[in-house]
Chain A
């Protein structure tokens, strides 16, 4: 039924942004943001810094999910699986093969990309909910595979793998936590910039065209299945890198830290942060790291109930997430200033 496909996807409607301001102020914003991102490394104590590192890592993972679900419209409920595979690849390469942490990242990325392609290929030839079903099954199955005896030499079975947190290189006067934070921020910044450029390019527009008007996109000559599969592989790659970073930051991987709940957490982070918004991923990261603690304070024994209720509330009240809320506030502020300027004698 083509009529159903033609319903515009409201939740994920991309904002019509005016072109970025080209004046010199915009160029000042870049070093300001770099300083702002680096500052916590020298201002907060090490536990808080670890939490912030987790925020950045989750933000990258959610960005990966957002590219395929938000921008391409293909719902994945199993990105925790790619996070897990990325983390395990890095941990095994460090523990069993003695590779340095930075050298494992490209390998983890490649492994997750290949796995993403392998899962996406069968599921994405078909439209609809097949990807959601397959990825949900993947998320449930992955911890079992990680625990399996056949892989125990590398994965350590139920016990998992311990690795050591790297020290700062080149004799920099930084603690391991400070270095890990800065390293994570640098990788994340690179991924965010690349993702932003990709999404504003021809390919990014093709992704959104497939999400909003698949029939028209196909009529324009796009190979839907191929594009969707590649987008999914890319998104798995990004989430896999996040997993790899998490293995180094946490210094430990075990099957039980990658249950289906992780996939659900990433999904919740994406919805709450803002679907189809690059910065929404950062809000999503903040949400999934800090809100569970808060929820425990508020709801006592049942933080998960509150968590689920927040998700449902966002779908109902604020389907564009935090990012959408900020956009709306900014837009109305701009409108107010514009009217004030335009009204003479005020």
Chain B
């Protein structure tokens, strides 16, 4: 189980989580040019909701769907209530709101669901490792789920008129409004979608890292690194970057720096990208016109 192939497969499994969170970040970044620092905390809160529903006796997949729906609504409400009024405010005000949101949600999680570390169930077979010992049932299952989510999101944006409208609102809000798209609501939907994707990532990662109020902090960091590596204005790039960071993290953790410095590895990736390829592997080079 400790060989290089296993590290790569495990990297793809965690990479799927990072890719999902990176996608959630980039979706909001594309539409608003803001990075939601509370994205991870919102996902943790959703995961607590899922755990509560499962403990209340709901079947796993029912709880899963309900949680994703509730998270979507929470995302929309947050955008409508907190960010809509701040639409034209300076960047610092937005960062202030994101940090405030991070504090409120993470402390709310701890307060409502208490601070103890909790185990989280997985619906996948946890028995014998599959594919000749390469991969555990949960790794395989969670990779399948994240890939399914990413595919669904892709299909949604490519092949539905609502997806097209959301892309238009992000790409050119003024023109989008002129052709009758309600840009404000598109942003809110984007927030809802990002929250829903984050919820899936939280539910899939919780059995591995265990559930506690700061569960997503490190994952958010890797998602930042993945988004930057892939190009922060390119959703597909961010997904690729997320997978790449997952693999780098696992190989680096196994052979290079050990598990104690894994977060520092994320910082190193961020700094390396900024130094050598600031626009990311697949991002556009930003040229500002005067």
A residues contacting B by CB (< 8 A) are 1-2, 4-5, 7, 9-12, 69, 73, 75, 77, 119, 122-123, 125-130, 132-134, 136-138, 140-141, 144-145, 147-149, 215, 219, 260, 264, 267-268, 271, 275, 301-305, 307-309, 311-312, 314-316, 319
Partner of B264, one of A7, A12, A144, A314: A144
Give the residues in chain B near A267, CB-CB below 8 Å: 96, 99
Residues of chain B from 72 to 124 with CB closer than 8 A to chain A in the complex:
82, 85-86, 88-93, 95-97, 99-108, 110-111
- Tell whether B131 is near chain A: CB-to-CB under 8 Å: no
Give the residues in chain A near B262, CB-CB below 8 Å: 144
Find out whether the CB atom of A315 lies under 8 angstroms from the CB atom of B97: yes
Find out whether the CB atom of B89 lies under 8 angstroms from the CB atom of A10: yes
Encoded as 1 (CB less than 8 Å from any A CB) or 0, chain B from 253 to 290 comes to 00000001111101100110011001000000000111
**A-B CB contact pairs (8 Å), 22 listed:** A12-B90, A77-B95, A123-B271, A123-B274, A126-B274, A126-B278, A128-B33, A129-B95, A132-B37, A133-B35, A141-B264, A144-B263, A267-B96, A268-B103, A271-B92, A305-B103, A308-B107, A309-B104, A311-B100, A312-B97, A312-B104, A316-B85
Find out whether the CB atom of B85 lies under 8 angstroms from the CB atom of A134: no
Partner of A302, one of B90, B95, B108: B108
B residues contacting A by CB (< 8 A) are 33-35, 37, 82, 85-86, 88-93, 95-97, 99-108, 110-111, 217-218, 221, 224-225, 228, 260-264, 266-267, 270-271, 274-275, 278, 288-290
**Closest chain A CB from B226 CB (angstroms):** 12
Secondary structure call for the A interface: helix
**Closest chain B CB from A33 CB (angstroms):** 30
Find out whether the CB atom of A129 lies under 8 angstroms from the CB atom of B102: no
Find out whether the CB atom of A129 lies under 8 angstroms from the CB atom of B97: no
Find out whether the CB atom of A11 lies under 8 angstroms from the CB atom of B104: no
**Closest chain A CB from B109 CB (angstroms):** 10
Find out whether the CB atom of B217 lies under 8 angstroms from the CB atom of A260: yes
Give the residues in chain A near B267, CB-CB below 8 Å: 134, 137-138, 140-141
Across the A-B interface, give the 4 residue pairs with the lowest CB-CB distance, nearest first.
A308-B103, A304-B107, A308-B104, A312-B100
- Which residue of B is nearest A215, CB measured? B290
Find out whether the CB atom of B104 lies under 8 angstroms from the CB atom of A140: no
Give the residues in chain B near A75, CB-CB below 8 Å: 91-92, 95
- Which residue of B is nearest A132, CB measured? B95
Find out whether the CB atom of A312 lies under 8 angstroms from the CB atom of B82: yes
Partner of A7, one of B82, B90, B217: B90
In the assembled complex, the Cα of A11 lies from the Cα of B278 at a distance in Å of 28
**Assuming the A-B contacts A1-B288, A77-B99, A148-B260, are A122 and B274 also in contact, with contact meaning beta carbons closer than 8 angstroms in the complex?**
yes
Give the residues in chain B near A11, CB-CB below 8 Å: 89-90, 92-93
In the assembled complex, the Cα of A110 lies from the Cα of B90 at a distance in Å of 33
**Assuming the A-B contacts A136-B224, A138-B267, are A312 and B96 also in contact, with contact meaning beta carbons closer than 8 angstroms in the complex?**
yes
In the assembled complex, the Cα of A111 lies from the Cα of B105 at a distance in Å of 35
Give the residues in chain B near A275, CB-CB below 8 Å: 92
Partner of B101, one of A134, A144, A308, A316: A308
In the assembled complex, the Cα of A32 lies from the Cα of B94 at a distance in Å of 40
**Closest chain B CB from A251 CB (angstroms):** 27
Find out whether the CB atom of B221 lies under 8 angstroms from the CB atom of A311: no
Give 15 A-B pairs besides A129-B35, A133-B35, A260-B217 with Cβ atoms closer than 8 angstroms: A2-B290, A7-B90, A11-B90, A122-B271, A126-B278, A132-B35, A133-B228, A134-B271, A141-B263, A144-B263, A271-B96, A304-B110, A307-B103, A312-B100, A316-B86
In the assembled complex, the Cα of A77 lies from the Cα of B33 at a distance in Å of 17
Give the residues in chain B near A260, CB-CB below 8 Å: 217
**Closest chain B CB from A85 CB (angstroms):** 14
Partner of A315, one of B93, B264, B278: B93
**Assuming the A-B contacts A144-B261, A305-B103, are A4 and B33 also in contact, with contact meaning beta carbons closer than 8 angstroms in the complex?**
yes
Give the residues in chain A near B104, CB-CB below 8 Å: 304-305, 308-309, 312
Partner of B261, one of A5, A140, A148: A148
